[in-house]
Structure 1
Amino acid sequence: MKDYIEERVLEVAKYIIDTKSTIRKAAKIFGVSKSTVHKDITERLPKINPQIAKEAKDILELNKAERHIRGGKATKMKYSAQEA
């Protein structure tokens, strides 16, 4: 694996852990695709640093579990704004 990829993987993982960010938000911040961030965290990071990989994966699992709640809130806000 190239050095710049390893650096990016570790930076993205640190960002996700520090901010409890979603894959989508991390991708936007780092200027890469969601697919790239997902591959970095799920495939590349465990080979580089298994401990950080577990922490990042736990946060992504939590985000995935809460996803339907955030979607419902966004829909509620959308229709509340249209009525006003």
Structure 2
Amino acid sequence: MADQEMQKLIKRINELAKKAKEEGLSDLEIIERKDLRQKYLKKFRESFRSQVEMMQIFDKEGKEVTPEKVKEVQRKKGLRDD
């Protein structure tokens, strides 16, 4: 579902970008574009944060070297029990 929302945001942002290049935007469309961009960035950051929080990093010898800050977040979310 989140992916569909992102696709809708991207589609509308691109429509407004095309219109801005071709004929310009009304004041309402400029406000809409700003709002859509903020929503897109918020969703992108949430998704990226979630991916980083789920990550585990291992060195060549197979030893886990995940940063402690990430481990702490994982513990708080119940993703680790070490």
TM bucket (normalised to shorter chain) is 0.3 to 0.5
Structure (1 or 2) with the larger CA radius of gyration = 2
Q: Which has the higher helix share?
A: 1
- Larger relative contact order (CA 8 Å, sep ≥ 6): 1
- The TM-score, its normalising length taken from structure 1, stands at 0.37
- The TM-score, its normalising length taken from structure 2, stands at 0.38
